[in-house]
Amino acid sequence: MNSITIQSPQPAEEGESLSLIVDSRSAGLRLDHFLVQALPGLSRALLISAVRSGDIKVNDNVRKSSYRLKTGDLISGQPRTLDIPIRVEPEEMPLQILFEDEYLIALSKPPGMVVHPGSGNTGSTLVSGLVHHCQSIAIVGDAARPGIVHRLDKDTSGLMLVAKTEGVLRKLAADFKNRRVKKKYLAIVKGIMPEKSGRVVAPIGRHPVNRQKMAVQPATGRHAATNWRVIGEAGDRYSLLAIVIETGRTHQIRVHMQHIGHPLAGDAVYGGGSKGHLFPRQMLHAARLGFNHPVTGQDLEIVAPLWPDFFMAVKAVFGEIPSQLGEFA
């Protein structure tokens, strides 16, 4: 097990082992406060429960959540999965599949659909449709999110990759982790950008007050970089952006756009105004994925057409479809 410092914590999920070394900047923090900042993929309740049960220890000793950390403390353990269904029921549903072979599926997730079951999400999910479409996916990877290589927020539409075998899942996950997958998004943001293109580099971590949100956290956040380019403007009200992310942090584009004063239209959580007829959700679409096929070695580039709500919003706001958006329309 590799030890790491708070500056670069492992992106842990429920059930994964962890090993964290406390550096001088984090000395004095409560154990629970440290954990929720270092492990944004896990809920506060799960982490506190894991500390109480001894699933997470400090220097191989059980400590209280209020324990004050010291430089060099080793935090290790394995949080148990809590309230996560272990079985996905197949469910017939329409899937917008853009590419499929015996190894993987590339599809476009519709807005409003949750990718996999979890705490608070036990109804219809994308993985239920995938397991119905291809039964063998049910035994690939985690039982609650079989085949899932990466995720999109519920109200973000667009491209996702799904693995049909364990080997393909591991290879694609490694490619995402090592930034070998090219990810391009389209977004409508509030206001007019100061330049025609730019780059946001700001570390992201769990919001210190609202644990359901992420935020720019200079001291404890994880490195995150987002590149944007203007492809359309509507007066001084809105901009249409092509966005390429170098990293894949939770809510990265939403947080970075809010950070520079141009939140996503329709993103009530991050300052983009409430949802309505014009913007029924956060206006973010995963438009393109470029990657190397994990088995054949072929370079693939998949494009996901706009979903109707995004297309109609672009027409309503910008008056016409910008020429650079043609391939996605």
What are the catalytic residues? 153
How much of the chain is helix, strand and coil, in % rounded to 5? Answer: 20, 30, 50
**Residue 278 bridge partners (DSSP):** none
Token couple for 175 = 């490619």
Residue 316: strand, helix, or coil: helix
**Residue 245 bridge partners (DSSP):** 183, 226
Distance set, CA 30 to CA 2, 3, 14, 205, 241 (Å): 23, 20, 21, 17, 41
Token couple for 125 = 């999910």
Q: What are phi and psi of 29, to 5 degrees?
A: -70, 150
Nearest to 96 by CA among 253, 303, 248, 298: 303
Strands (E), 145-283: 157-163, 182-190, 197-201, 204-206, 214-216, 225-234, 238-245
CB atoms within 10 A of CB 42: 21
Give burial (CB, 10 Å; 0-12/13-18/19+) of 320.
Answer: exposed
